[in-house]
Amino acid sequence: MMRSLFSGVAGLKTHQTKMDVIGNNIANVNTTAYKSSSITFSDLMSQTTQNASGANATTGVGGTNAKQIGLGVKAGAINMNITGQGSAQSTGNPFDIMITGDNFFVVSNGRDNFFTRDGSFYVDGAGNLAMTSTGYNVMGWQVDPETMEIKMDNVSALRIMSAANMTYPPEATTQGYVSGILDKNDTDVNSTSGKTLNLNLYDALGYSYTARLVLKTTDTEGQYSVEFAKLLDSNGDEVDISAAPNAFGTPNTFAPKESTVTFNTDGYAWNGTRLTSADGTIDYVDIAGLNGMDLTDPAVLKGTYTVNGDDTKTVQDALDVIAKAYGREGSTDDFLKLCTADTSTDPATYKAIRDYIADGSLTTLATTDATTGVTSFQADGSLVNGALLSFDPNTGEFVGIGGGTNVGLDLSAVSQNFSPISIDFSAISMYNNNGTSTVTATSGDAKGLGSGRMLGDMIGVSVQKDGMIYASYDNGMTKLLGQIATASFANPSGLEKAGDNLYSATLNSGEFDGIGVDVTSGGGYMSTGVLEMSNVDLSQEFTDMITTQRGFQANSRIITVSDTLLEELTNLKR
């Protein structure tokens, strides 16, 4: 009877333990990534009152089994359903991450590594990715600064919001390309001012500029000139590029283009070597004062030029007056590059207007028509500081630029912050497009490389399926910030609960090597904006609760019946 009492007590204790397990499961039914536990029973021990005996062949007596009386029950094992995947709960928070698979996040309190399935993370004040509940740092792999790829070394805290990561550095433009259709009947291309192409570019500090290229036709079929006209800043103001007169292409290339240049005899007159008003009362330019000057030198053009004692004028002002007198107001540079055959040389070469001015022979160009009284001269073309584009007039295909396809734009003389830019013209063609050209200039090559960029501010962070963390910036760039590492164990059920949804490695789970594994290496992946829910099955827990209650009730009856038997025994003395 005493044995039955203690068996009943053991049954009560064991069923109480099972109820504790069930109660803990139900209490954590809404705990993020909680893994339910279950208990199994085993008999405690047995008292042997008679050992087993074997059969006796001599006497013919058979063997007997051992006589054993059980002494109760005990908790055999408490198992975690640690590999059971919980359902996904959507949160919309990009730093809420769920692992699908058997791996664990690695977190650290600064001294020890712990493991968790709770992916509720946030970015703390220092920029570290951390657990929302404990503040423990999420561990992962850093980016190799040389290769800009993940370096799988010992895990360390992921500081994704460091000062260096909040911005993306600017970069100067190094590539450009021109594409589209050039229609030979386009009035803009055939005009004096030409067709304008705007190339947007950046310097090394991230400031934006617009390089204005001008495309013009020549008198050679299938040939067009392209020149660098001006540079504008982000406010649309013109930048002084006089320090780089030959920044684009090849200087002083002859492009044939017949043009009639007419002198404005109604407003101006040549008095010997002096440009005056028509009535001769106002002196504008003493051309002799310009003799011998290098009119391609920006420093010379900025130099002082005195007219009738007025020393506030510059050489450029004098040239502007001459261009205006020849009907080219606002186009001084184009006017100076007009050229005619210099018959004084053998063979004849082409001589630019600026050279006629420099040697004092400008007035020898013009002739006056006896009938109309119009004074004019014929320009055979112009000198191009740029390049000549060639097309096959039969197929319209681009042939090249002096044997190549690219033209360099080097503004380093304007500012050291500019990088040389190689502009590719191979993507243009000369086809009929109803008189409209669609030629455009774009920064970067055809793949978008070398386009340059401004300084970028971080506008978002995303976590990929493999745990790689990327930042996006408002200049269109993305940057790899690190990768969330995971841990994998041979026996995950052997992990020891450490509270706060954390686990510690044990001898039976297997050790963590300090490096971890890529979550995708075992077929798992990460999902953002969702959390793993508890894998507690309430229907199973309530069913287990019923059987536990009945088991407890039955064991209590063992005690009460045994007590009644003892009572009857004590009553024998009466």
Highest mean pLDDT, choosing among 9-18, 343-352, 564-573: 9-18
Percent of the chain with pLDDT over 70: 99
pLDDT reading at 293 higher than 60? yes
Percent of the chain with pLDDT over 90: 60
Tokens found for residue 423 = 């502009």
For 133-148, the pLDDT digits (tens) are: 999 999 999 999 889 8
pLDDT reading at 565 higher than 70? yes
Tokens found for residue 81 = 């359903």
DSSP state of 85: P
For 381, the enclosing helix (H) or strand (E) is strand 375-391
pLDDT reading at 1 higher than 70? no
pLDDT reading at 229 higher than 70? yes
H runs (alpha helix) in 269-308: 298-301
Evaluate whether 409 touches 421 at the Cβ level (below 8 Å). yes
Cα torsion angle, 130, 136, 141, 146, sign:
positive
Tokens found for residue 276 = 């005056």
Tokens found for residue 555 = 């064991």
Least confident stretch, 129-138, 195-204, 211-220, 552-561: 552-561
For 389-411, the pLDDT digits (tens) are: 999 999 999 999 977 899 999 99
Report pLDDT for 394.
93
Report pLDDT for 498.
93
For 55-100, the pLDDT digits (tens) are: 888 888 888 888 878 778 888 889 999 889 999 999 989 999 999 9
Report pLDDT for 571.
86
Tokens found for residue 448 = 């978008």
Residue 33's nearest CA partner among 85, 79, 77 is 85
157 class by beta-carbon count within 10 Å (0-12 exposed, 13-18 middle, 19+ buried) = buried
Quick one: average pLDDT of 322-335?
89
pLDDT reading at 433 higher than 60? yes
Instruction: Give the span between the Cα atoms of 277 and 267, in whole angstroms.
Output: 6
Cα torsion angle, 450, 451, 457, 459, sign:
negative
State the helix-helix crossing angle for 538-570 and 2-27, rounded to 10 degrees. 160
For 301, the enclosing helix (H) or strand (E) is helix 298-301
pLDDT reading at 546 higher than 90? yes
Instruction: Give the span between the Cα atoms of 431 and 442, in whole angstroms.
Output: 20
Going by their DSSP bridges, the two strands 421-429 and 175-181 should be labelled as: parallel
pLDDT reading at 574 higher than 70? no
458 class by beta-carbon count within 10 Å (0-12 exposed, 13-18 middle, 19+ buried) = middle
Instruction: Give the span between the Cα atoms of 296 and 354, in whole angstroms.
Output: 8
pTM over 0.85: no
121 contact partners, CB below 8 Å, separation of at least 6:
95, 96, 97, 129, 130, 131, 132, 138
Report pLDDT for 227.
93
Instruction: Give the span between the Cα atoms of 297 and 303, in whole angstroms.
Output: 10
Instruction: Give the span between the Cα atoms of 46 and 59, in whole angstroms.
Output: 31
CB-facing half-sphere around the CA of 272: CA atoms within 13 A: 4
Task: Report the Cα 467 to chain-centroid distance in Å.
Answer: 17
Residue 487's nearest CA partner among 86, 78, 99 is 99
Residue 236's nearest CA partner among 207, 205, 210 is 210
Report pLDDT for 559.
85
For 234-277, the pLDDT digits (tens) are: 999 999 988 888 899 988 889 998 888 998 888 898 876 788 88
- Helix, strand, coil percentages (3-state) for the chain, rounded to 5, are 20, 40, 40
Report pLDDT for 242.
84
Tokens found for residue 329 = 């107001």
Evaluate whether 61 touches 55 at the Cβ level (below 8 Å). yes
Evaluate whether 2 touches 9 at the Cβ level (below 8 Å). no
Quick one: average pLDDT of 555-568?
84
Report pLDDT for 567.
82
DSSP state of 101: S
pLDDT reading at 193 higher than 70? yes
Kindly report the average pLDDT of the chain as a whole number: 90
Instruction: Give the span between the Cα atoms of 208 and 203, in whole angstroms.
Output: 7
Going by their DSSP bridges, the two strands 150-157 and 137-143 should be labelled as: antiparallel
Domain residues of the chain, as ranges? Answer: 2-82+536-573, 91-167+457-529, 175-254+385-443, 264-365
Residue 160's nearest CA partner among 128, 188, 192, 191 is 128
Instruction: Give the span between the Cα atoms of 172 and 179, in whole angstroms.
Output: 21
Evaluate whether 337 touches 351 at the Cβ level (below 8 Å). no
Evaluate whether 98 touches 530 at the Cβ level (below 8 Å). yes
Which has the higher per-residue pLDDT, 71 or 303?
303
For 145-160, the pLDDT digits (tens) are: 889 899 999 999 999 9
pLDDT range class, residue 512, cuts 50, 70, 90: very high
Report pLDDT for 210.
97
Q: Output the DSSP codes for 390-420.
A: EE-TTT--EEEBTTBSEEEE--TTT-TT---
Instruction: Give the span between the Cα atoms of 111 and 446, in whole angstroms.
Output: 51
| CA–CA–CA angle 103, 105, 109 (5° rounding) | 145
